[in-house]
């Protein structure tokens, strides 16, 4: 319930700021669409959790991996399918990796073939989209999935604490970097000059109205690069939210991020850890790219959170608790 209240507060604040500053508030605004997609994803994930060990779901995940890979291979730059943007495709693939991880935790070793194939396809999709940030957040997730499948953790709250520290630290780092007059040499080797200008433009807009922001959609008019649709956003969730909805909006965004970690922690420890890492991965990736504008990415992240949270009451068993003798059906203890 608290999460829904926070999302409603974020939507309301964004609408109030936009209307107060005569910016308006579009029904297609990410400030409205993303929260709705997240709620729908969580609800869908809770329903999906009961089928965690179902081979039909595993096949669907594998097919999703095929779609992501073919989307890269069969389309030209810059609008790589299925989402039309390579980094968003990579972020979607990272969440697919997390879904595969959740499935592996409830599937006996002899029936993991399609899940492992799906996971491999998702990792390949991240690499093919050539998303440096996507690769950077995907690798730890894959390692965590391998770790929890090998030796399941008993405690979950450490993942909430660690995820919070990483998310807050990452946001502070990006803000500090964007506030400097120029990027240091190492940063220019990591981030392109276009991002440097976009981030400086976002900081300049944020400084005009630091508390309330300049209204949803106002960044487009504040950058000279907006003639290209690909550069009409700040390519940073925290900077764009700050510029358009101020510190109030950033605070609400941070609380929503924290609520996501708490929601993941409602589930069994192994599933909670996987979901917390996937959620943190999306937050951190979004600091250096525009991802939250893509409803499928947020929807899938919600599915991961909902699936993990429902694992505590869905009746799904961990893989080593299943009787995997040949010819026998899995039995939940």
DSSP per residue over 1-25, as a string? -HHHHHHHHHHHHHHHHHHHTT---
- What's the structural domain count of the chain? 1
Helix, strand, coil percentages in the chain from 3-state DSSP, rounded to 5: 70, 0, 30
Q: Contact at 8 Å (CB) between 39 and 94?
A: no
Percent of the chain at pLDDT above 90?
75
Residue-level pLDDT at 320 = 55
Residue-level pLDDT at 330 = 45
Residue 329 inside a domain? The answer is no
Residue 328 inside a domain? The answer is no
Place of tokens 């409205």: 32
Residue 331 inside a domain? The answer is no
What CA–CA distance (Å, rounded) separates 68 from 289? 19
Residue 248 inside a domain? The answer is yes
Residue-level pLDDT at 322 = 52
What CA–CA distance (Å, rounded) separates 80 from 86? 6
How many Cβ atoms sit within 10 Å of the Cβ of residue 150? 7
Residue 332 inside a domain? The answer is no
CA 222 to chain centre: 27
What CA–CA distance (Å, rounded) separates 272 from 12? 30
Its domain, for residue 164, covers 2-321
Residues in the chain where the model's pLDDT stays below 50: 323-333
Instruction: Supply the DSSP symbol for 107.
Output: S
Residue-level pLDDT at 187 = 85
Residue 74 inside a domain? The answer is yes
Q: What is the pLDDT of residues 201-250, one digit of tens each?
A: 999 999 999 999 999 999 999 998 988 888 889 999 999 999 999 999 99
What are the φ and ψ backbone dihedral angles of 115, each rounded to 5 degrees? -70, -45
How many Cβ atoms sit within 10 Å of the Cβ of residue 66? 14
Residue 330 inside a domain? The answer is no
Length of the chain, in residues: 333
Residue 145 inside a domain? The answer is yes
49, HSE (Cβ side, Cα atoms, 13 Å): 29
Token output for 167: 């998310």
Q: Contact at 8 Å (CB) between 14 and 216?
A: yes
């Amino acid at each position: 319930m608290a999460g829904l209240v926070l999302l409603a507060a974020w939507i309301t604040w964004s609408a109030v700021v936009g209307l107060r500053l005569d910016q308006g508030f579009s029904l297609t605004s990410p400030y409205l669409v993303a929260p709705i997609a997240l709620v729908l994803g969580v609800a869908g994930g809770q329903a999906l959790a009961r089928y965690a060990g179902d081979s039909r779901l595993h096949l669907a995940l594998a097919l999703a991996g095929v779609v992501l890979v073919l989307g890269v291979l069969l389309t030209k730059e810059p609008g790589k399918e299925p989402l039309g943007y390579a980094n968003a495709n990579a972020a979607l693939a990272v969440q697919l990796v997390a879904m595969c991880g959740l499935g592996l935790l409830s599937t006996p070793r002899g029936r993991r073939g399609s899940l492992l194939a799906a996971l491999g396809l998702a990792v390949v999709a991240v690499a093919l989209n050539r998303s440096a940030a996507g690769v950077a957040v995907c690798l730890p997730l894959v390692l965590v999935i391998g770790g929890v499948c090998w030796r399941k953790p008993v405690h979950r709250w450490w993942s909430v604490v660690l995820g919070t520290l990483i998310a807050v630290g990452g946001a502070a780092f990006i803000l500090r970097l964007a506030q400097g007059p120029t990027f240091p040499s190492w940063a220019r080797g990591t981030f392109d000059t276009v991002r440097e200008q976009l981030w400086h433009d976002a900081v300049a807009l944020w400084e005009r109205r630091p508390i309330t922001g300049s209204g949803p959609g106002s960044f487009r008019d504040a950058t000279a690069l907006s003639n290209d649709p690909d550069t009409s956003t700040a390519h940073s969730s925290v900077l764009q939210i700050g510029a358009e909805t101020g510190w109030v909006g950033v605070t609400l965004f941070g609380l929503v991020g924290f609520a996501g970690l708490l929601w993941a922690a409602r589930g069994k420890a192994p599933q909670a850890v996987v979901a917390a890492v996937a959620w943190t991965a999306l937050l951190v990736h979004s600091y250096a790219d525009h991802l939250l504008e893509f409803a499928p990415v947020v929807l899938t992240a919600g599915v991961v959170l909902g699936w993990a949270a429902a694992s505590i009451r869905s009746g799904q068993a961990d893989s080593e608790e299943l009787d995997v003798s040949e010819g026998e059906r899995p039995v939940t203890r």
